[in-house]
Structure 1
Amino acid sequence: MSAVRSNSFESGLGEPEQDANSALTDLDKSLRSGKIGEQSEAIVRFPRLFEKYPFPILINSSFLKLADVFRTGTNFLRIWILRVFEQSEKHLDKILNVDEFVRRVYSVMHSNDPVARALTLRTLGACAGIIPERQQVHHSIHRSLDSNDAVEVEAAIKAAEQFAAKSKTFAISMCNKISDMIQGQVTPAYMKLQLIPILQHMHHDTSTAILVRKLCTDLLPKYPSKEFVIVTLKSLTQLSAATLVDIPEQVSLLLYYLRSDPRWPVKAQSLTNLKQLAREGSHLWPSGSIEDIVDVALSTETVLVQSLSLSVILVLVQSPITCHLYRDTNSPVRKLCEKWVFSQNIAIATQAVQILTKIACYCYKEDNNMNINDTNHAKQLIGQIETLIQIIISKKDNEDLHQLKLVLHCAVALCSASPDNCIHFTDLLGFNLTTDCSNETRILLCEALGAIGSIQPDKLLNLLPDFCLKLSELSSQNNNSNNSTTATIKADDDTINKIKVMLCTLVFQAISEYEWDIKTIDILMNVVASSNQWVNYRIARAATRYGHNNIADMVFSNMPLQVSSEYLYFWLMCLKEISKGEARLLNIKGSTNRSQLANNLVEAIKHYSKATTALKAASSPTQTLQFQYEYTKLRTEFLDCLLQLIYACNSLCTAPPPAIAGSTAQTSRDDMQRFGHITQQLRASAKEFHSCGEFYAKLYQTAFDADPNTLENIQILQQMCTIMAVSIERICHPSNSTSVTDDAALFANCNSINSQSLETRLMSTACEKVIKISKELAAETEMKTIAHKHADSLINQVTILANTSLCIPRYFYQVLQSTTVKLSITPQPRVLGESVSVPHGSQLAVKVEGVVQHGGKPGLFRSVKEVIVTVTSVPQTRINHDLQVPNDNNCLTLTQTVTPHRDFFTTQFLLAFAQGGQYVLSIDACLVDSSGCVWRVSQKTTFAVKVYEEPGAKQNQVQQTSSASTSSTTTINPTQLPIPNQIPLATSSTQLITNTLNVNPAQSNINVRR
């Protein structure tokens, strides 16, 4: 129900904005300072520099400077440099001069100071990812393990662990050395505990893994102390998780210690390791393992062991195999959970409920017709969940809020699996919402009711009086607290405001398909009057998301005048105008007057035009609001298409067919021309709807960071355009016309949108109604005519779509996942605005370096798998002192697909110019997600190239170009790739034929289009 609001206005930790070279120069000056304080300050600022400018040239130069300071500085500075290397591990791959870097750092290994050598080993271990096979470093680590200084030995152990994880050669070579040190009597016990974890990385080949496993299993009886057993079991678990083949043997070993070892820390560690193996491969567990865990849980009275046992089973039931094996009522897992579901320990009871819920959801998913036992079990589980919720709420404290949240998640999961269960929980949660419970508990109850309301909003309608009553109480409480300044009341204001917003959201969900009554509106306005502007903004935002734009219009009416920022003023003005426009469309409901329908559409278009203007003013360099602008603009165009369709239908009466219409139809061989002006009007309207749908498809392709509901919202809006275009084409095109889309395929695609969210369900229902009207009209008439009933049918469809409240998607307000692509192009003009000069007959090498930058919650909805880099060269000619772009035949397009490594990618292009003159180069990057869908997220980078043409060389160059392009391969341009998760458009797009030029055999194929 609530989300973290992203903040794109980063201040940069108070640092002034400057380019990369200036920042590096300032840090270099501080590094050369004689004051150790300035040097330390400069060192700790390097990670921030790497994150801001993550390009190889700057990073290579910076690490070389740090390595030089490491070589000549003190141990104090070396510690800070080590911290920089540890924090910047993902940027180490961008070091170009690795040999020089290692030489400067490794030179400290010859020092007589053991602390300096220890810091060097730790630094080299932090860089193990880029120097995994450096034999001299391997030798130094091996030699330092025999040192007499404990600090150096511990550093060597740490470095050995890091290199063993990266290098197969080092792991194999160090296996015997580590084994001898562990088994040796000279090595102290605490140092053996540090050496054992190194063995978990010895999984590079089968023989070494077998040898290490035998060594560790031999150590367990020789060193039976608690610390050694725990460390050894953990290392063996990590090794088995990496190899996978040893998981059954490791599970048996852990179960042995779980049953036989009486020490509770060992049992707890065994269960923790079993939980990890359950995540890695629950299907590899030997039969009977879960029964052993159940027996241990039943035979112990220790709460920790009981809780860990249930946590292992909870991970195992994530697999459908486990749920299927233990779905029977008499299974040991069910018996255990049914016994502990009423445990006095709330945490254990909650875990038992979670396991039973997973099994029940599996039964709902796999069995459409559940048997009597499963049905009875589901009813029993619902009663257990309700009892547990009531017990936790009755405590009236906040100690078990986490468990209450987990139990409410189970309730929502059961409602999602079977919507018939919603009625069982709404009454209970609604009743407890009005009782004397804590505000934190009310927040959780509101979130659960909101989740259930998204599944079945009509179940909340019975609770509407309770919601209104609670809102009235909170409003009066807030009015009374305005005269008080006590710290307690002020501390609870944020919680009360959050409850207000959630209760208003529940009201919006309950009345999503019904009319508002005056009493409910008055209560809502009283809440707005007693709240601050931020709370009112959140209430209005929730109203727009659920289509109650008339309420949002009331709340937004005076809000723009309450802010001091110019950007916020125009942003609120935009929301105000959108709400006003949608509120005008609500007046269409039940109206059959075409004039009134057209007038309301005109007024709505005016308000949307003002909204797009306000959005331009609300944009700033740090927040462009590009998606919001495109979304609002397309809504304006869609409403304009509806208006033009009304005018076209009206022309059937105002512009009847002329007398020569019949002869015109015979001449043009188009029988529909005999109906005169309306035929052309309807065909033009169909083209406009098709064009609007294509623009929605392009908007969809730019929303890489959007949540699934937002993408579904755009899909439905696109399908509204496509459905209207097809309905018009059914009327105004002849039956044998190739421009008419396959109706069956189109409507099948439209019906494939199965809206799971309440925000898009109403819009999807409107599409179904329009499809039904269109099919009914097509079934009534066989002859192709344009009569008044066709116009009335189109007007009815327009009325349905215009009267459907627009639900503003979440991505319009909040960005939960932020992904941007930052490009660096080489070469660059020396002076901004000038051209890059290229001699005639030579080729231009363009190097593209890019970084995929993430904001909060990277990979929340989708992640980046590949990047498609496109370079386009467009020649320009000068005619009458005006620069003009020639035909596309003279354009050159190169594409290449690269895979980012630690969010960094680089590629190169070699451009040949057919003739001299001025060229414009455009570089663009598209993202490819894990499912293979292409998204456009980056802005094009352009610069000019000037090719000096020699006299008499133009004709030769043209001949060389024509001979070089004799072989061609048909490919698809990345701009024509399928839109991700997109329903196909009604119109088919023509595939562009491109030529392929192999520039560099060492790289992937580069596609060239002329």
Structure 2
Amino acid sequence: MINMRMNAFNDSSIGESEQDPNTALIELDKGLRSAKIGEQCEAIVRYPKLFEKYPFPILINSSLLKLADVFRVGSNFLRVWVLRVCQQSEKHLDKILNVDEFVRRIYSVMHSNDPVAKALTLRTLGSVARIIPERKHVHHSIRRSLDCHDLVQVEAAIYAAQMFAAQSKLFAIFMCTKISDMIRGQATPATMKLQLIPILQYMHHDISTASMANELCMELLESYPAAEFVRVTLSASTTLASATLINVPAQVTLLLQYLLEDPRSSIKTHALQLLHSLAKKGAHLWPQGALAQLIDSTTTLLQDGARNINLLIRSLNVIEVLSESPVTCDANMEEGNPLIALCSKACYSPNPIVAVKAVTILARITCYCYEEGLPVNGIQDVVSCLESLIMLLALDDKYLYQLKVCLQLSVKICQVQHNHCSIFVDAIGSTLVNTNTNNKKNDHQAVVLCEALGAIGSLGENILLPLLPDILVKLKKTPHTHTKVMLCTLLFQMVAGGYEWNAECLDAIDSVIKSIDSWNRYRIARGATRYGHHKIATHLFKILKEAVASEQLHFWLLGLELMTSAESYLLDDVEVDSNNTVKKLNGAISRYASACASFKAASTPIRNLQFASDYSKLRCEFLQALVQLLHSCRSLCTAPPYAIAAHEAHTAKDELQRYGRVTSQLRKSVLELRTCAENYQKLYQSAFDADSGSLNNIKALQELCLLMAHSVQRVCGGPPVATSFPSSDVAAFGFGDTVEMQQLAKCCIQIQALAPAGDADNETSSRKTSGISHLRVGNLISQLTLLASSKLRLPVPRYFFQTLQETSVNLSVLPQPRVLGEPVSVPQGSQLALKVEGVLTHGKRASLFRSVAAICITISTTPPSKASSEKKDTNTSELEQIVVPHRDFFTCEFLLSLGSQSNNSVCGSSVSSCSSSGSSGGGGQYQVTASANILDESGNIWRCGPRSVMQVRVHEEPSRKKLT
């Protein structure tokens, strides 16, 4: 049976029922008040999960106050668990509303005589230092505890001092002298000094304190030459330099000094590790000559051979990070440069790790030269070295990561210079064919080799075509299922360039389908759908829909079968005429309508198929618009203009009205195509989590709608379509450079070439090529025939099947009605304070394609409609506010004036715009809608947030009725 790998469980753990936050909080509260310490501990440790599930301030504030009470009156054992909750709930601490009360309950334990209780209090206060950075009494308690004679309390004070120094400038200045005296003091044990030194890395809040801390680090390096002291001190000073940036050159020089002069290998290793962290800050911060010293040191290590292989790898790691900067590449691109010479020698090292790191540096310099249009030196050496490493590393499963790096470099070089594609395709293809098929470990190498070939093959058409015989042979020999799936995907990519399937390729696919399980059949069908091979996908989905036990999965596969059968019905080669085109379009429309119904039946609260349903629905609407346009074109012959058409055209001052009914029908088709394009734009804006290829797919389909609307508008007149199209360049459409998207771009170019000429382009032409003539309508029919032929293979986007990035917004609107379903009551003449809270939730891969920069909250108020009036009351006011989420939480407030003539207002500091047309006077029931839209880091608005609707009833007070 097929396993679709859908999580059928809810967010609660096994054995726990789904609860609302109040019920869960009441149950935990019962556990806290239990007389059994085990139940108390169980209740405490469940709070972090409750915070993650319901991260709203009211719940978090109430919960942490209760935990603070437990900390105040409980035993040290319970205090340990409360401390763990505070440490695990760091991102929710900002939502504590009563911070003073929370701190008061925790801090009261400091008056205890138990040093362990005091130590736990200090650690708890340190874990919440972010919300109480400037509490003076806490600062004094930490300072006093540092002079305590109990070791447990002193260690806790050191932990708290480190946490507060990272948050508070005043505390860092206040404690700098104290920490310095303790470190310099002879009475302080060496182990305690090692714990105190890391506090110095947070003394970066002002220049004087940072300078004092840096001087102390330099003094410690001279006074305490022991290896452990040197490592801790160098780490503290490096972190301090990274925060201030002004000390980075001096710190790099210091680390290079220890690397070159200190004989201890542990110090050299640690210095290289710290140099690696400073290299991430940027090569432009390194002093002049520092890279040259590192290259000389690395050259010496390379000459020593295998004795210092660990140091050599770490040195190359640092240079590799520096090579990511254009500064390094620009300064070392000349032939014979020391860095080029070093990497050229290291490329042929017997250690594969050293060789891969060296070739990575050379490849980055090469790519930089290609991108900047600079002369490239030694490209043949880089290419040959990559070829050799790919063939060598594919033999051993131990170097799988290094093999991936080499393949990524190959793809990158092919992207910047397509002339190298054939070379790497031959090298990777031959390696794939020669891989031992009987060894199960080699399946991983074969998979990554196939992925690299797919990435290179997507850069253009016919790149992988020379590998077709070898791929077919490999498909017959390999016993590994995953490799078979990847090889089938490569086969789909090759044929996607406009070729037809031959018998040998079809037999190879059939033999693979018979030898694999249902899940991998689904993967093959999914790949065939994404590359437009819908006949193969239809056959597979028809088999798979009966191999699942879940009703939702059955409807999902049935919808896929209907959708792919609709597309394959369009791809059938039949005699081209208008009757066959209508038949094909009607057949595809009926199948798409059934597919939309199946996708709705397959949707569940856990797995929402909104995108799949909308995508199929829009495709169906587009085909319906094409059928209507085809019937409109044929009506030029079937419905000739009536006798008074010329008179009506003269009266309406519209010359095209003399052609009769066809004019209005064509103009109606223009509106339908424009509406379809607008709906594609709405679908685009709702796909915040979609990958770039899926967005390009939607953009291409929208472009087809606009092209057809533009063509029809040139025939029947009317307002022009506000768009401009490129002439004949595939890349000018901006659909991406993948094979399937290039096919859509070519289809757009063919549609544009068949478009009828506009009246403005034919001022001197005959009447046959102007107005609504048979010739121009014939051009429209040619465009329709092309869209319903095998020349347009619809590639279904990846987002239709997979969501690699998951982002959702949860809204909570206050006030809520006391009884669910009833409206909120507001006296007439008063204002409604509306508070909107929200939480962002992410999947495993947050911000993979784009990240959330802000949330745009829109409040729309619709007044009650008056039944006595003939016209509908559309007097709707809208308020908008942009808020920036803090640790995935955001809140904003609005003040609504209902039942009065005053405009609404916004409460908040980050107001974007406020547009209001006022509210109608009098009472009634208003509809208040709160919607959330996402703003990404580029400022684009994605309309994918939720909507919350609330009914508000405005009523007159009894006293006012008596007065009137």
Going from structure 1 to structure 2, the CA distance change for 1:293 and 1:743 (only over 3 Å counts) comes to: closer
Shift of 1:39: 0.9
Structure 1 unaligned spans of 5+? 478-495, 958-1010
- Which whole-Å deviations, capped at 9, do the CAs of 1:521-555 have from their partners, x for residues lacking one? 12211211221111100000011111111110111
| Residue of structure 2 equivalent to 1:730 | 714
Going from structure 1 to structure 2, the CA distance change for 1:228 and 1:38 (only over 3 Å counts) comes to: same
Going from structure 1 to structure 2, the CA distance change for 1:248 and 1:596 (only over 3 Å counts) comes to: same
Between the aligned partners of 1:224 and 1:726, the Cα distance in structure 2 is: 78
| Residue of structure 1 equivalent to 2:543 | 558
**What are the residue-to-residue correspondences of 1:288-367 with 2, within 5 Å?**
288-300=289-301, 301=304, 302-367=308-373
| Residue of structure 2 equivalent to 1:764 | 745
Between the aligned partners of 2:7 and 2:549, the Cα distance in structure 1 is: 18
Between the aligned partners of 2:185 and 2:703, the Cα distance in structure 1 is: 74
Cα contact 2:282–2:325 (8 A) shared by 1: no
Between the aligned partners of 2:285 and 2:684, the Cα distance in structure 1 is: 42
Shift of 1:746: 10
**What are the residue-to-residue correspondences of 1:317-716 with 2, within 5 Å?**
317-367=323-373, 371=375, 374=376, 377-393=378-394, 396-437=395-436, 438-474=442-478, 477=479, 496-513=480-497, 514-587=499-572, 591-716=575-700
| Residue of structure 2 equivalent to 1:974 | none
- Which whole-Å deviations, capped at 9, do the CAs of 1:759-781 have from their partners, x for residues lacking one? 32211221122223337677973
- Which whole-Å deviations, capped at 9, do the CAs of 1:954-1008 have from their partners, x for residues lacking one? 9x99xxxxxxxxxxxxxxxxxxxxxxxxxxxxxxxxxxxxxxxxxxxxxxxxxxx
Between the aligned partners of 1:895 and 1:748, the Cα distance in structure 2 is: 41
Aligned: 1:932 with 2:939:
yes
Cα contact 2:714–2:758 (8 A) shared by 1: no
Between the aligned partners of 2:399 and 2:571, the Cα distance in structure 1 is: 46
User: Which amino acid in 2 is paired with 1:12?
Assistant: S
Aligned: 1:907 with 2:895:
no
Shift of 1:727: 1.1
Cα contact 1:875–1:885 (8 A) shared by 2: no
Cα contact 2:714–2:756 (8 A) shared by 1: no
Shift of 1:752: 4.0
Q: What is the identity percentage for the equivalent residue pairs of Structure 1 and Structure 2?
A: 50
Going from structure 1 to structure 2, the CA distance change for 1:341 and 1:10 (only over 3 Å counts) comes to: farther
Q: Say which SS state the counterpart of residue 455 (structure 1) adopts.
A: coil
**What are the residue-to-residue correspondences of 1:746-825 with 2, within 5 Å?**
751-774=732-755, 781-782=762-763, 784-803=770-789, 804-825=792-813
Going from structure 1 to structure 2, the CA distance change for 1:908 and 1:436 (only over 3 Å counts) comes to: closer
- Which whole-Å deviations, capped at 9, do the CAs of 1:388-427 have from their partners, x for residues lacking one? 112223xx33111111111111111111111111111111
Going from structure 1 to structure 2, the CA distance change for 1:51 and 1:771 (only over 3 Å counts) comes to: same
Cα contact 2:125–2:160 (8 A) shared by 1: yes
The farther-off stretch of 132-141 and 673-682 is 673-682
Shift of 1:5: 7.2
Shift of 1:679: 1.3
Between the aligned partners of 2:109 and 2:78, the Cα distance in structure 1 is: 13
Q: Say which SS state the counterpart of residue 941 (structure 1) adopts.
A: strand
- Which whole-Å deviations, capped at 9, do the CAs of 1:215-260 have from their partners, x for residues lacking one? 1111111111111111111111111111111111111111111111
Going from structure 1 to structure 2, the CA distance change for 1:166 and 1:773 (only over 3 Å counts) comes to: same
Shift of 1:624: 2.3
Shift of 1:808: 1.0
| Residue of structure 1 equivalent to 2:956 | 949
Between the aligned partners of 1:618 and 1:410, the Cα distance in structure 2 is: 42
Between the aligned partners of 1:863 and 1:884, the Cα distance in structure 2 is: 47
Between the aligned partners of 1:340 and 1:744, the Cα distance in structure 2 is: 51
Shift of 1:213: 0.9
Shift of 1:747: 9.7
Cα contact 1:337–1:353 (8 A) shared by 2: yes
Cα contact 1:751–1:768 (8 A) shared by 2: no
User: Which amino acid in 2 is paired with 1:422?
Assistant: C
Cα contact 2:858–2:881 (8 A) shared by 1: yes
Shift of 1:623: 2.1
Shift of 1:909: 0.9
- Which whole-Å deviations, capped at 9, do the CAs of 1:890-938 have from their partners, x for residues lacking one? x222211111111111111111112201111111111111111111222
Cα contact 2:559–2:596 (8 A) shared by 1: yes
Cα contact 2:460–2:737 (8 A) shared by 1: no
Shift of 1:334: 0.7
Cα contact 1:108–1:116 (8 A) shared by 2: yes
Cα contact 1:648–1:682 (8 A) shared by 2: yes
User: Which amino acid in 1 is paired with 2:496?
Assistant: S
Between the aligned partners of 2:923 and 2:871, the Cα distance in structure 1 is: 15
Cα contact 2:347–2:356 (8 A) shared by 1: yes
User: Which amino acid in 1 is paired with 2:811?
Assistant: L
Shift of 1:884: 11
Cα contact 1:588–1:799 (8 A) shared by 2: no
- Alignment partner for residue 845 of structure 1, among 827, 833, 847? 833
Q: Say which SS state the counterpart of residue 799 (structure 1) adopts.
A: helix
Cα contact 1:56–1:96 (8 A) shared by 2: yes
User: Which amino acid in 2 is paired with 1:857?
Assistant: R
Between the aligned partners of 1:901 and 1:304, the Cα distance in structure 2 is: 42
User: Which amino acid in 1 is paired with 2:109?
Assistant: V
Shift of 1:37: 1.1
Cα contact 1:82–1:122 (8 A) shared by 2: yes
Between the aligned partners of 2:362 and 2:493, the Cα distance in structure 1 is: 30
Between the aligned partners of 2:871 and 2:80, the Cα distance in structure 1 is: 58
Aligned: 1:12 with 2:12:
yes
Q: Say which SS state the counterpart of residue 18 (structure 2) adopts.
A: coil
Between the aligned partners of 2:5 and 2:137, the Cα distance in structure 1 is: 51
User: Which amino acid in 1 is paired with 2:591?
Assistant: H
Shift of 1:180: 0.6
Q: Say which SS state the counterpart of residue 562 (structure 1) adopts.
A: coil
- Which whole-Å deviations, capped at 9, do the CAs of 1:424-459 have from their partners, x for residues lacking one? 111122222222432121111111111111113412
Going from structure 1 to structure 2, the CA distance change for 1:499 and 1:917 (only over 3 Å counts) comes to: same
Q: Say which SS state the counterpart of residue 788 (structure 2) adopts.
A: helix
Q: Say which SS state the counterpart of residue 622 (structure 1) adopts.
A: coil
Between the aligned partners of 1:121 and 1:940, the Cα distance in structure 2 is: 44
Going from structure 1 to structure 2, the CA distance change for 1:741 and 1:898 (only over 3 Å counts) comes to: closer
Aligned: 1:287 with 2:288:
yes
Between the aligned partners of 2:180 and 2:224, the Cα distance in structure 1 is: 14
Shift of 1:685: 0.6
Quote the RMSD (CA, aligned, Å): 2.2
Aligned: 1:163 with 2:164:
yes
| Residue of structure 2 equivalent to 1:919 | 926
User: Which amino acid in 2 is paired with 1:348?
Assistant: V
TM-score (norm 1): 0.88
Cα contact 1:875–1:886 (8 A) shared by 2: no
User: Which amino acid in 2 is paired with 1:343?
Assistant: S
| Residue of structure 1 equivalent to 2:879 | 894
| Residue of structure 2 equivalent to 1:149 | 150
Shift of 1:749: 12
TM-score (norm 2): 0.92
Cα contact 1:422–1:456 (8 A) shared by 2: no
Q: Say which SS state the counterpart of residue 24 (structure 1) adopts.
A: helix
User: Which amino acid in 2 is paired with 1:817?
Assistant: Q
Q: Say which SS state the counterpart of residue 922 (structure 1) adopts.
A: strand
Shift of 1:745: 8.5
| Residue of structure 1 equivalent to 2:914 | none
Going from structure 1 to structure 2, the CA distance change for 1:7 and 1:380 (only over 3 Å counts) comes to: farther
| Residue of structure 2 equivalent to 1:487 | none
The farther-off stretch of 124-133 and 836-845 is 836-845
